[in-house]
Each structure stands twice: as structure tokens, then as C-alpha cells.
A = this chain, B = another copy of it.
């Protein structure tokens, strides 16, 4: 039993990811997604333009939050402090629905080469959004690029730990996990030499 109360949009996302994992992205139709969610096709189209949008809608929102957090960081924040502010902003918006979606999304991605490719491009998009927001703060291109890559790695690692279905204890706040992951990566840069 899910712990969140799913609305129509959330039920459609869960149904779609489950079907993508079971039978692949290509072979899943909007009609099947709606049926699995116990809704009609027209309800689906009130929420999403097509099945692809189920996967991209979250990415656009996430990119925006990361970029906003970076833009709003104090003027004297270092590039990595600005990235931390972006992670904090985005993490704060993730709900327990996002957390419970994690394993479903992971299963869908593991099951489909096409979804793996899409997920890889999603990471590229997140890095580009963060890098651009850093450039607007006057950060040079290579520094912005590296800081953004570390930001993506930290967000993914933090999210994975937060959403781990095998975790026994209270998952706590996502922001705690993304911050710890970023600190770990920052420490790692000192050992590259």
C-alpha cells in the first residue's frame, strides 16, 4: 500500500512506469496506461501530451529548481556552494511520492535500453541547466562544467540513498542525502591530483 494518497496524475505516472518496466516503453500505449490507472484516455491527455512526457515533465521541473537555487545563492557563494543551494532547493520540493517512485523508475530504466538512453540524456540536461545558471553568476566555463557534473552526481547519489527501498530507518530529508553526497564528491576532488 502506498503511503501517499495518489491523485490522477500520480496514478498515471505509477501505471506508466510499471508498464514500461514490464513490457518496455515502445510497446506501452496510452490506452494501457489509462486502463492500469483505472482512468480514461481523455483523463490521461488532460495531464500529459503523450507517454514520453511522463518521463520528461519531472526533468524540466527539476532543472528549473536546480537553476533557481543556484541563481538565488548569495553573491559571494563559491561555485560549489551555489550548486549546494541548487540541490537544496530541488531536494526540498521532492515529496514522499517522488521517493516511492524511485524504485519503480529504476526498474523501468534497468529493463529498457531506450529508457537508459533517455535517463542519460536527462542527466546531461540537468548538468546543462546547472552549468548555465553558474555561468550567469560569472563562473568560467570549465569550472561551471565540473561543478555542474558534481551536482548531478550528488543529486543522483543522494536520491538513490533516500529512495532505497531496503533502507530500514526513517529516510529523513532528501536534502540531507544530497548535501552529504556533494561533500563526499568535494572531498574526492582533493584526491585527484
Q: When the two chains form the complex, which single residue of B78, B116, B143, B153 contacts A145, counting CB atoms closer than 8 Å?
A: B153
Chain B: minimal CB distance from A32 (Å): 22
Are the CB atoms of A188 and B142 closer together than 8 Å?
A: yes
Within 8 A of B (CB), among A55-110: 78-81
Interchain CA distance A69-B120 in the complex, whole Å:
25
Within 8 A of B (CB), among A89-146: 114, 116-118, 120-121, 123-124, 140, 142-143, 145-146
Q: When the two chains form the complex, which single residue of B117, B149, B186 contacts A121, counting CB atoms closer than 8 Å?
A: B117
Are the CB atoms of B78 and A192 closer together than 8 Å?
A: yes
Are the CB atoms of B192 and A147 closer together than 8 Å?
A: yes
Chain B: minimal CB distance from A57 (Å): 16
How many subunits of this chain does the assembly comprise?
2
For the residues of A in contact with B, the DSSP-based class is helix
Chain B: minimal CB distance from A192 (Å): 4
Report how many residues on chain A are interfacial, defined by Cβ distance under 8 Å: 30
Chain B: minimal CB distance from A114 (Å): 8
Interchain CA distance A153-B144 in the complex, whole Å:
12
Instruction: Give chain B residues whose Cβ lies under 8 Å from the Cβ of A191.
Output: 79, 140, 143
> Does A46 belong to the interface (CB within 8 Å)?
no
Report if A193-B150 is in contact (Cβ < 8 Å); known contacts: A120-B121, A188-B142: no
Instruction: Give chain B residues whose Cβ lies under 8 Å from the Cβ of A142.
Output: 184-185, 187-188
